[in-house]
């Protein structure tokens, strides 16, 4: 049976529930936590979830490179993001190694509906400062959601190896999330950052509500 049909079957036979809402909001500021059953779905196809994870790490490195190329005059940002590029690419290699170790294949990159929806919220007009702020908050939000997903995996998977594997990724993503917020605070008045961040969080929660939860997706 195709994975997306298995996903729908599992969701159709279980009541919807959420947990750790307080922790998610207090630590990561996310308005809506991931449905905990998502962890069970990820175990259906290890090859699919590792492939998607690998491309997420690759895109994270690319996003940092793009910011550096776009804003080379922002010296603090360049200095802070340069090592993140190396770290994210190292994560890509780690995930690729897990695939190879299990004789699994890196599949093709899929369309990322979550990220594409987030991109629609970025400021298109307005000032360059507004667009810059949105780029930083866009990255922060992806890192925060990735951190939350990795936390789910580190706590919910049965395999001790993969629980530890994703624990390390969770800690890394948490650091990246806070870095992007700190960079925003460095370049933009904090009140403006907080106001726009609340708007991003509310918008992201609506995306999460509307997207199909699939076990072959990190987001």
One DSSP character per residue, 110-135 reads: PP-HHHHHHHTTS--SS-HHHHHHHH
Q: Tell me the whole-structure pTM to 2 decimals.
A: 0.86
Q: How confident is the model at residue 107 (pLDDT cuts 50, 70, 90)?
A: very high
8 A C-beta contact, residue 106 and residue 99: yes
Return d(Cα 216, Cα 138) in angstroms, integer: 22
DSSP H or E run through 52: helix 46-70
Closest CA to 49 of 217, 162, 168: 217
Domain boundaries, the chain: 42-210
pLDDT score at 29:
82
Start-to-end C-alpha separation, the chain: 22
Domain 42-210 class in CATH: mainly alpha
What SS3 state is found at 71? coil
* Residue range 123-130: mean pLDDT, rounded: 89
pLDDT score at 26:
53
Higher pLDDT, 17 or 121: 121
Does residue 198 surpass a pLDDT of 50?
Answer: yes
pLDDT digits (tens, 9 = 90+) for 18-64: 344 444 555 578 999 998 789 988 888 899 999 999 999 999 999 99
Q: At what angle do helices 46-70 and 75-101 cross, to 10 degrees?
A: 160
Who's near 198: CB < 8 A, 6+ residues apart? Answer: none
């Amino acid at each position: 049976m195709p994975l997306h049909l298995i996903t729908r079957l599992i969701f159709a036979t279980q009541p919807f529930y959420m947990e750790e809402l307080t922790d998610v909001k207090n630590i990561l500021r996310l308005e809506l936590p991931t449905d905990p059953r998502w962890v069970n779905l990820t175990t259906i196809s290890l090859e699919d979830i590792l492939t998607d994870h690998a491309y997420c790490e690759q895109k994270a490195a690319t996003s940092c490179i793009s910011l550096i190329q776009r804003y080379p005059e922002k010296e603090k940002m360049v200095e802070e993001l340069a090592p993140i590029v190396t770290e994210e690419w190292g994560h890509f290699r780690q995930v690729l190694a897990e695939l190879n170790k299990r004789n699994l294949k890196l599949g093709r990159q899929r369309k990322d509906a979550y990220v594409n929806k987030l991109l629609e919220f970025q400021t298109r007009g307005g000032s360059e400062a507004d667009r810059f702020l949105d780029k930083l908050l866009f990255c922060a939000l992806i890192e925060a959601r990735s951190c939350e997903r990795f936390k789910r995996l580190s706590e919910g998977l049965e395999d001790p190896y993969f629980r530890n594997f994703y624990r390390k990724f969770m800690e890394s993503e948490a650091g990246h999330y806070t870095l992007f917020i700190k960079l925003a605070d460095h370049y933009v008045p904090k009140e403006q950052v907080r106001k726009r961040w609340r708007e991003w969080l509310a918008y992201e929660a609506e995306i999460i509500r509307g997207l199909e939860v699939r076990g072959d997706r990190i987001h």
